[in-house]
Amino acid sequence: MAALKHRRTALERVEKFLSETYFTDCNLRGRLFGDRCPPASLSCFQTPRRIPYDEAVRQEFRPAKVGDSFGPTWETCWFKVELSIPPAWAGREVHFVWESDGEGMVWRDAQPVQGLTKEGEKTSYILTSSLKETEPHSLTLYVELACNGLFGAGKGSMIAPPDPDRRFTLSKAELVIFNRDVYELLVDLEILLGMAQLLGEENQRSFQALYTANQVVNMCDVTDPSTFPAARDLAAVIFSQRNGGSQHTIHAVGHCHIDSAWLWPYEETIRKCARSWVTVVRLMECNPELTFACSQAQQFEWVRSWYPGLYAQIQDFVAKGRFIPVGGTWVEMDGNLPSGESMVRQFLQGQRFFQEQFGRICSEFWLPDTFGYSAQLPQLMRGCGIRRFLTQKLSWNLVNTFPHHTFFWEGIDGSQVLTHFPPGDSYEMHGRVEEMLKTVKNNKDKGRVNHSAVLFGFGDGGGGPTQKMLDRMKRMSDTDGLPRVQISTPDRLFSVLEKESSQLCTWVGELFLELHNGTYTTQAQIKKGNRECERILHDVEVLSTLALARGGTFQYPARQLQRLWRLLLLNQFHDVLPGSCIQLVVEDALQYYAEIRGAGAQLQEEAVQALCGDLLQPKAGSAESTLVLNTLPWERTEVISRTGPAGTETLALVTVPSMGYAIVREPLLPPQPVAVRKQEDGSIAMENGVIAVCLDTMGRLTSLRLVHSERESVPDGCYANQFALFDDVPLYWDAWDVMDYHLETRKPVTTLLKPLEITLAGGLRGSASFSLRIGKSSTLTQEIILDATCPYLRFLTQVEWKEAHKFLKVEFPVQVRSTNATYEIQFGHLQRPTHWNTSWDWARFEVWAHKWLDLSEHGFGVALLNDCKYGASAHRNVLSLSLLRAPKSPDATADIGHHQFTYAVMPHRGSFQDAGVIQCAYNLNFPLHAVPAGSAQCPAWSAFSVSSPAVVLETVKQAEDRAEAVVVRLYEAHGSTVVAWLQTSLPVKEAMLCDLLERPAARGCLPLEQRGLRLSFTPFRVLSVLLVLKQ
Q: Which residues pair with 991 in a beta bridge?
A: 1006, 1027
How many other C-beta atoms lie within 10 A of the C-beta of residue 52?
Answer: 10
Residues in the chain: 1031
CA distances from 796 to 502, 524, 634, 719, 780 (A): 54, 16, 25, 18, 11
Rg of the chain, C-alpha, whole Å: 32
Closest CA to 896 of 523, 519, 516, 517: 523
Closest CA to 272 of 413, 385, 146: 146
Check if 369 is active-site: yes
Q: Which residues pair with 684 in a beta bridge?
A: 678, 695
In 411-536, at which residue ranges do the beta strands (DSSP E only) sit? Answer: 416-420, 451-456, 484-487, 506-508
What is the bridge-based pairing of β-strands 965-972 and 406-410?
A: unpaired
The amino acid at residue 31 is R
Would you say 756 and 768 are in contact if contact means Cβ atoms under 8 Å apart? yes
> Helices 228-240 & 180-198, crossing angle to 10 degrees?
40
Would you say 831 and 375 are in contact if contact means Cβ atoms under 8 Å apart? no
Closest CA to 1013 of 966, 975, 974: 966
- The three-point CA angle 985-990-992 to 5° equals 110
| Alpha carbons 557 and 536: distance in angstroms, whole number | 14
Helix (H, G, I), strand (E, B) or coil at 278: helix
Q: In degrees to the nearest 10, what's the CA dihedral of 18, 22, 27, 32?
A: 70
Catalytic residue among 101, 188, 259, 369: 369
How many other C-beta atoms lie within 10 A of the C-beta of residue 553?
Answer: 5
The amino acid at residue 664 is V
What is the separation, in whole angstroms, between the first and last Cα of the chain? Answer: 94
Q: Which helix (H) or strand (E) holds 971?
A: strand 965-972
Residue 894: φ, ψ to 5°: -50, 125
Would you say 737 and 580 are in contact if contact means Cβ atoms under 8 Å apart? no
Q: Which residues pair with 128 in a beta bridge?
A: 94
Q: In degrees to the nearest 10, what's the CA dihedral of 810, 813, 819, 821?
A: -40
| Alpha carbons 618 and 457: distance in angstroms, whole number | 66
| Alpha carbons 352 and 858: distance in angstroms, whole number | 46
| Alpha carbons 286 and 284: distance in angstroms, whole number | 5
Would you say 364 and 327 are in contact if contact means Cβ atoms under 8 Å apart? yes
Buried b (16+ CB within 10 A) or exposed e, 421-457: bbbbbbbbbbbbbebbbbbbebbebeebbbbbbbbbb
- What are the catalytic residues? 369
